[in-house]
Structure 1
Amino acid sequence: MDTTTDQHTPWVLQFTHAQYGPFVDCARQYAALFRDTPYKVCTVYLTGAPDEAVIQGSASDEVVFLNQSKQQVRGLKLRAIGKLRRLLGTRRFVLCIAHRAKPIYIALLASQLPVIGVHHAFGDYQRWSRRFFVKRFKQRLALLGVSDATCKNIRHCMPDWPDWPEHRLATLYNRVDIAVLQAQQLSRKQARVQLGLPADAFIVANVGRLHPDKDQALLIRGFAQARSALPAGAILTIIGSGRLDIPLKALAAEELPSESVRFLGQVDFARRYFQAFDQFVLTSKEETFGIVLLEAMAAGVPVVCRDDCGGGAEVAADEVLFAADAASLAQAMINTAQTRHFPYYTKALEKFTDAEARIRFKRLLQQFAIHLP
């Protein structure tokens, strides 16, 4: 940990729980809010060892790994609080952005900074202890949800908080760096070769954990009903792994010919392969945001999204939403396969960008009454 004292340059502390899954890109997104400003960003990972790829992906002026174990981040988290306090004493920090409940808790106890807590999941305030804690610090804590659905869920968990300031809860959508994402994506031919997919087939795809929340069972049934009206030789391709691997394969064997469905298992950096698809379908019961839809749109792939999934429906346009039953899904898949123009692409890809988020974030700082020097 760097202990060089810097009391002149203003720093923003970004504190996140882990470096797996989407959280490195979340760190990049929030570091990007301060690009071309006088503020430097120090991103701190509560768990996980130093990793060069994480450092590069965080796009921050400095990256610190507290390297706490699962056991150490249970209970009072005194060791993590002490480490963070020592870091805070090394320079002039003016704001903390904390992702998820544990970093919010540690940041509030380790500092006197204004803290913006970012929530990426539903149900974060179902525990009374968390509700009690953040209420205690409401004067210097503001909350962000990554979608309107996330904020609605936070409010739903707070019915006994009539005095929680309405202006200190707001939405700041997740976003993608379109240029970087498109540069990472393989061509249609390359992606199909690497995934082992036929060059001329119509590919309907889903990417996600094989878990009840993702509801790939609905996807299989919907595709089975739509298949005869889709281009000849259509193939359903499911990327991901999880505890429903065997049941979903059994359902697919009942509903579909073996040549019309492919389970590809876990594929690292799956977003690189999206140009292999002709249609992307999101059947999740719950999505706080649904960044996978933007990854599909950036590849030029038409999307179909379940209308009651939460944040995902906020990303997709009304014309590509379907009700949570196989017949509605089948009709949406057929309609999308027959459509040639998707004007919602441009609107969505402009709305969910770093540039748009910077404009929104400046307004939110005023709304939260956070005045940076």
Structure 2
Amino acid sequence: MKQRYKVLQLQPDYNIKQHDFADLAEQIFKALPADRFDTTMAFLRGKPVSGQPVSRAERSVYFEFSDKALKGMRLKASWQLFQFCRRERFDVVICNRFKPVNMLLQLNRWLRIPLCIGISHGFGEYDRFYRRRQAKRLIDRAWQFVGVSPAVKQYLLDCRCGFTDANTHGITNAIDIEQAEALQLSRADARAQLGLDADARLVGALGRLVPVKGHTYLIEAFAALKDKYPQTQLAIIGAGREQARLQQQIERAGLAGRVHLLGFKENALQYVRAFDLWTMPSLAEGLGLALLEGMSGHLPVIASDVPAMRPLIEGAGGLAVKPADVASLTAALDTYLALDDQALRAKGEQAYDYLTREHDIEVFRQQYLQLIESGLSAATKESK
């Protein structure tokens, strides 16, 4: 039997979900034929407890480094990772997010792994001068890079520190639409499980309750329309440090019973059909998978006009709003809430059609398979 290529994916934290419809790392492994690739997933921090899911990789490794061990020079952690990779002799290492990329950039000077792929999920990773200087010094022919949207790819190129048109690619995140839809509850069941009014027109949002997600502006915009649309309610799925402050804002605006902070929900996508329209008022995003999740529920979308989300909003026929701009967000909500149910559903179908055309999971998988195969082919030619 022909020897299989050994592929390692490095993740900063254990984060495997029960369903992998939007898990980039798991979807990459699904792209790799088992007869040609031997797969390992490794996590720098964390590990599952009994009953929690594990990666679909043939093997999972949990380094369980402490936060302290991953700060500064990271000498002990880097030495352990070096020993592991040297022993296993991987052909490909895929690094998700900055910290794994940073560690492998340094270690591959000695490891000489033929193909390393660094995936950037957002902006700002190389804003610091010393990071750009290090990247410029260490990026070599073994490295390829991926931005999870065209905007993130452009961010990398604009850093001018070793990212080039030849080694930097834009592979837009996708979701497994068939799997996502199979998870979704009916409108009635979703509302019943969330404890929401069966007859209200419902504005929805999903995201951590942190400032960058912009929920405070969404609540303020909704408050401006509360009397014009008395049958409308707002519900936000997510938890975070801003919860108490947002709850106070709701009460001050007289929105108790009209705006609901639903907290963290396992497999939150199952509730998407509870809503009539989907909002994402973030101040910044690398791509915004929650926007694609809303589209999978056949919902019209309102989202912030940030570079990573602009083409998604436009393609879906949604409404783009200025980040942190209450007037812009209020106007967009007003536009959609003024539509009758049939017109609003038609906008949702437009968003769903865009999702199926432009964010097909099979295309995503094939792009990663092609990147890996072409990178290994180039490495083989160079070694001869």
TM-score by length of 2: 0.83
Aligned equivalent of 1:65: 62
Matches for 1:283-294 after TM superposition, within 5 Å: 283-294=281-292
Secondary structure of 1:213's match? Answer: helix
Secondary structure in 2 aligned to 1:371? helix
Q: Give the equivalent residue in structure 2 for 1:148.
A: 150
2:178 maps to 1:184: no
Q: 1:45 aligns with which of 43, 55, 77?
A: 43
Find 1:102's aligned residue among 82, 99, 109: 99
Runs of 4+ in 1 over 6 A off after TM superposition: 21-24, 366-369
Aligned length: 362
Say if 1:270 and 1:133 are closer, same or farther in 2 by CA, change over 3 A. Answer: same
Gaps of 5+ in 2: none
Q: What is the RMSD computed on CA atoms of the aligned residues?
A: 2.9
Alignment correspondent of 1:333:
333
Deviates more, 1:214-223 or 1:283-292: 214-223
Select between 348-357 and 17-26 the one with higher mean Cα deviation: 17-26
Give the match for residue 193 of structure 1.
Answer: 192
Per-residue deviation at 1:329? Answer: 2.1
Deviations 1:194-246 (A, max 9, x none): 2111111111111222222111122112223344554x511111222333323
Give yes or no for the alignment of 1:357 onto 2:354. Answer: no
Q: How far did residue 343 of structure 1 move? A: 2.0
Task: Find the counterpart in structure 2 of residue 175 from structure 1.
Answer: 174
What is the match of residue 276 of structure 2? 278
Q: 1:51 to 1:181 in 2, by over 3 A?
A: farther
User: How far did residue 335 of structure 1 move?
Assistant: 3.2
Could you tell me which amino acid in structure 1 is paired with residue 180 of structure 2?
L
2:190 partner amino acid = A
Equivalent in the alignment of 2:138:
137
User: Once the 2 structures are TM-superposed, how far is the Cα of residue 286 of structure 1 from its aligned partner?
Assistant: 0.4
Query: Are the equivalent residues in 1 in contact too, given 2:3–2:36 (CA < 8 A)?
Result: no
Compute the displacement of 1:271 (Å). 1.8
Q: Say whether 1:217 aligns with 2:216.
A: yes
**Cα separation, 2, equivalents of 1:296 and 1:370:** 39
Counterpart CA distance in 1 for 2:28 and 2:172 is 11
Query: SS at the partner of 1:335?
Result: helix
Q: Within 2, Cα distance between the matches of 1:233 and 1:133?
A: 56
Partner secondary structure for residue 269 of structure 2: helix
Q: Tell me, in whole angstroms, the C-alpha distance in 2 between the residues paired with 1:311 and 1:21.
A: 24
Query: What residue in structure 1 maps to residue 353 of structure 2?
Result: 346
Q: Which one of the candidate residues 10, 13, 36 is aligned to 2:8? A: 13
Q: Provide the C-alpha distance between the structure 2 equivalents of 1:112 and 1:229, rounded to a whole number of angstroms.
A: 64
SS at match of 1:132: helix
For each residue in 1:24-67, what CA deviation from the matched residue of structure 2 results, as whole angstroms up to 9, or x when unmatched?
Answer: 823212212314661232111111125566653x3222211112
Report SS of the residue matched to 2:117: strand
Secondary structure of 1:300's counterpart equals coil
Residue 302 of structure 1 deviates from its aligned partner by 2.1
Query: Match of 1:311, SS?
Result: coil
- 1:131-157 C-alpha deviation (Å, 9 max, x unpaired): 22222222222221111222233344x
CA contact (8 A) 1:167 1:367 kept: no
Q: Is residue 320 from structure 1 mapped to residue 318 from structure 2 by the alignment?
A: yes
Cα displacement (A) at 1:264 = 1.8
Cα distance in 1 between the residues matched to 2:33 and 2:330 = 44
1:14 counterpart SS class: strand
Partner AA of 2:155 in structure 1: N
* Between 87-96 and 108-117, the greater mean CA deviation after superposition: 87-96
Equivalent residue runs for 1:236-315 within 5 Å: 236-307=234-305, 309-315=306-312
Q: Where do 5+ consecutive residues of structure 1 fail to align?
A: 1-5
Change (3 A) 1:372 1:295: farther
The DSSP-based 3-state class of the residue aligned with 1:12 is strand
1:3 aligns with none
Distance between the aligned counterparts of 1:21 and 1:219, measured in 2?
30
Does structure 1 conserve the Cα–Cα contact (< 8 Å) formed by 2:174 and 2:359?
yes
Q: Secondary structure of 2:69's partner?
A: coil
Alignment match, 1:78: 75
For 1:328, what is the secondary structure of its paired residue? helix
1:303-334 Cα offsets, whole Å, 9 max, x none, are 21111x33233322353123323333233224
Counterparts of 2:228 and 2:32, CA distance in 1 = 49
Q: Structure 1 residues 370 and 310, CA, compared in 2 at 3 Å: closer, same or farther?
A: farther
Provide Cα deviations, 1:176-197, integer angstroms capped at 9, x if missing partner.
Answer: 1222222222222222122111
Distance in 1 of aligned mates of 2:269 and 2:222: 22
TM-score by length of 1: 0.86
